[in-house]
Amino acid sequence: MELRDYRDNVNLYISGKMNPEEATSFEKNDYFMRSVMLTGKSSKFFKKCSKNIKNDPEFLKQLIDIYKDDHEFIASIVEEFSNNNPKKNKSITELNMLLDNIYEETEDEVLHPAFDYAEGFFVTVKKKIDKEIEKIKDDNERTEAGYGFDAIKDNYSDSEIVVNWFAKRYTNEILLHQPSAEFDEIIHYFYDNKNQIEKLGDRKALFDVMAYFDENLASYLYLHPRILDPYMPMLRNVLDEWDDYLENLNTYKIEQIHQEMNRYLKENHLPKDYKRLFRGIIDLTEKRETIVKYLDDDSKDYERINVSKLSVPELRFVYYMTDFIDDVFFIDNEWDYMEDTSGYGEAPVEDSKVLKVDFVNKRKIKEWYNIYRRIYEVL
């Protein structure tokens, strides 16, 4: 049959103008029916396809892409394949992951079973990988293991669909599902100012964040940069609201510092007059230039700290508040005691840490001699 004649017959069949007997004959030809389905004209012809076609996972992958807007159809062909081929786990997993990618964009309930399947697969695999990572005794090796994406590439090297799906899933986990940090807080954690991001470029800035959590995953993202596309507008929004974020955060931090100062004075039975030292204490902190921007009183007429003239209780107060303020302003995020009313140093420890970076309890550890050194440097 000439190519032109073959195409004419495909079009004739699709239009319903073919002789019924001839149509029945063509339906027995797998190549012909594959051609009919690949035109994307209508999914209704799939029911006329043979079992060979319906049980061909590679062909079904093509159909999912072609008929991705016909959710009921693609969900039905995956369900049928899964029921008829229960032992073909790899193919079932790949097909469900392809549907889950579409569900992520549309949230159509007809595709929700695919989401459930993919999510269950993720949880199962992640538990196994996490257990293997926990067995690593060397801290550096455990850090290098990151999320374990390298294990995904090794174990599923024969399936780009699975590897790509895990890359998307891990990226989402890192950027949007921190147990104690929102997306904007993650960005502010890694970058001191928005100029750093502007210089790097938005996508490169996100690559570097991902590399901190899992270098193997970041390397994969370099080769598949579109995985980061959903997060680009989010990053741009963070940059647009950078100054407002710092204004709100640091104003709140100063309020909390005042509360902590009042708590310390009250619990240690010290006079309220010690609060006169607050502005001088700011001069002893590492982020003094930043903090001053957000103080209500920008007067230059305040008491400077002179340790030689302070009493022992005053010195202890100065040491304590200097250390506390440095902890508070260590990074441009909320710190571990902002929501704790029991006092500095008594915050509860969270049990459910998913990622390597502990955003809530991230504190800078300092020895007392460093505090003394800073105090005497300003004398």
Tell me the pLDDT of the chain averaged across its residues: 86
How sure is the predictor about 143, in pLDDT bands with cuts at 50, 70 and 90? confident
pLDDT tens-digit series, residues 57-103: 999 999 999 999 999 999 999 999 999 999 999 999 999 999 999 99
Return d(Cα 65, Cα 285) in angstroms, integer: 58
Question: By C-alpha distance, which of 58, 50, 47, 11 is closest to 31?
Answer: 50
Return d(Cα 57, Cα 80) in angstroms, integer: 11
Dihedral of CA atoms 232, 237, 239, 244 in degrees, nearest 10, equals -160
Return d(Cα 377, Cα 302) in angstroms, integer: 18
Dihedral of CA atoms 43, 47, 49, 54 in degrees, nearest 10, equals 90
Instruction: Give the least confident one: 141-150, 203-212, 226-235.
Output: 141-150
pLDDT tens-digit series, residues 215-239: 999 999 999 999 999 999 999 999 9
With 0-12 CB in 10 A as exposed, 13-18 as middle and 19+ as buried, what is 321? buried
pLDDT at 296: 81
pLDDT at 10: 93
Question: In this structure, which long-range contacts are made by residues 306-309, counting pairs with CB atoms below 8 Å and at least 24 apart in sequence?
Answer: 306/379, 307/375, 307/376, 307/379, 308/379
Does the pLDDT value for residue 25 go beyond 70? yes
pLDDT tens-digit series, residues 304-315: 998 888 999 999
Domain residue spans of the chain? 3-105, 136-240, 243-377
